[in-house]
Amino acid sequence: MSDKYDVIVIGAGPGGYVAAIKAAQLGLKAACVESWTSEDNKQVLGGTCLNVGCIPSKALLEISHKFEEANHGYEMQGIIAKDVKIDIAKMMERKSGIVKQLTGGIAGLFKANGVTSIHGHGKLLANRKVEVTDKDGQTKTYEADNVIIATGSKPIEIPPAPFDGEYIVDSEGALEFTEVPKRLGVIGAGVIGLELGSVWARLGSEVTVIEAQDTFLPTVDQQIAKDSFKQFQKQGLNIVMGARMTGAEIKRKLVNVSYEDSKGKQEAKFDKLIVAVGRRPYTDNALAEDSGVQMDERGFIFVDDNCKTEAPGVWAIGDVVRGPMLAHKASEEGVMVAERIAGHKPQVNYDCIPNVIYTAPEVAWVGKTEEQLKAEGEEYNVGTFPFAANGRAMAANSASGLVKIIADAKTDRILGFHVVGPQASEIVAQGVIAMEFGSSAEDLALTCFAHPTLSESVHEAALAVAGGAIHIANRRKKK
């Protein structure tokens, strides 16, 4: 078999493996290079998302949520569950089993679609050549008409708290604890910090989240952010805002953390410390100097709106390029690039990329926030509906949070869709679909929703945009 391909993808995460499969489905000869290696020296596909990110974290979130419900949410529903315990080893076994099943599934998809899987570290050379170094240090060079860089991202390490892999860990290490820490510190109140903090808080940890910024979830609509902040605090998460970490020292099997907040210098002791201050593009030794691909000072690869780099026939997708670091954004870009290589001209609608925080309650949104629209001087109308007035949410003992819809004041076109509450990650898809088709709030208001469902809250929020909600009192419109 020739070592020349139509498409070589470097990286088998949710952007890379999807791009390779789509390219093969379009009749292109495709290969995918991945360096991730299992303990038994076999190639592991799926990247960060499937192995140490989205999937294992959601498994732990789901298990810990069930444990929390069994301990604190069942009795009021008439279910008596006494002495409920958590088996951490069994929980981790369950998580690992899910990961293994899904990563193995990608290998099966590669085989079914005719994608060649190459095990090793891929490096882009000049003229679309890819050098692959295997686990034994042996190199082999492949050629392609097109190369897609999809190498993903890795956790950011900060000088005051270098990772030691046992007491001070990144998000990956936080998925491997063998016991519940009595006191857990989390640096960073972003998506990853809140999700991981929630997991271990539900299982019994005393969790303190230290965040440098003064505003909680600054990219989230602030009505939604403030509601979620109150609920997280009620759950026992101690979230300290405006706190700049200055150091961390391990002494007597404890992490001594020092930070400064509005009250001055502070100290805290933790059994474990998770550093979750963000991620950076993973382009280490991925590009030769003469590859023709340009990067900025933070390591992001420069691409145009269609993910094409300055080097002919070289593309980049996912976490290594501009935009949010989201698995589904990477997948959409992977499909788009594969189709463009095949001669089609699709585009990704970056205005309709949903964001989700998988805490309980979940937080999800798509489009503009009120703060953004105010800053842009746009006129808009808002409709909200609380889950406390939703029959299905009440029946499920999940009646906290709300749905919020923001629409253009003149055209009524939906500009933003925001949810904090039960199954927000599923409900937000309704907003994404509506916005993708250019729907107005009235379009949703005229749509029939099944009763009783959580989605009725979307219907009511849409009705509320024009002051016509049925199951709550409407705000009086200014004359």
| Distance (Å, whole) CA 439 – CA 411 | 10
Sheet strands (E) in 163-278 = 168-169, 183-187, 206-210, 238-240, 244-251, 254-261, 264-270, 272-275
Residue (of 297, 299, 337, 298) closest to 317 by Cα position: 337
Residues in the chain: 479
Number of CB atoms found within 10 A of residue 383's CB:
25
- The amino acid sitting at 3 is D
- The amino acid sitting at 230 is K
| Distance (Å, whole) CA 125 – CA 283 | 13
Q: State the catalytic residue, choosing from 65, 119, 418, 451.
A: 451
Helix extents (H) in 377-412: 391-395
| Distance (Å, whole) CA 207 – CA 273 | 10
Is 119 an annotated catalytic residue?
A: no
| Contact status, residue 251 vs residue 163, Cβ threshold 8 Å | no
H or E stretch including 316? strand 314-316
Q: Exposed/middle/buried for 360, CB within 10 Å: 0-12, 13-18, 19+?
A: buried
Sheet strands (E) in 68-163 = 116-119, 121-124, 129-133, 139-149, 153-155
Residue (of 239, 321, 234, 223) closest to 276 by Cα position: 239
Q: How many Cα atoms are found within 13 Å in the side-chain-facing hemisphere of 94?
A: 14
H or E stretch including 31? strand 30-34
| Distance (Å, whole) CA 471 – CA 252 | 57
Residues 6+ apart with CB under 8 A from 303: 309, 315, 316, 321, 322
Catalytic site positions: 451
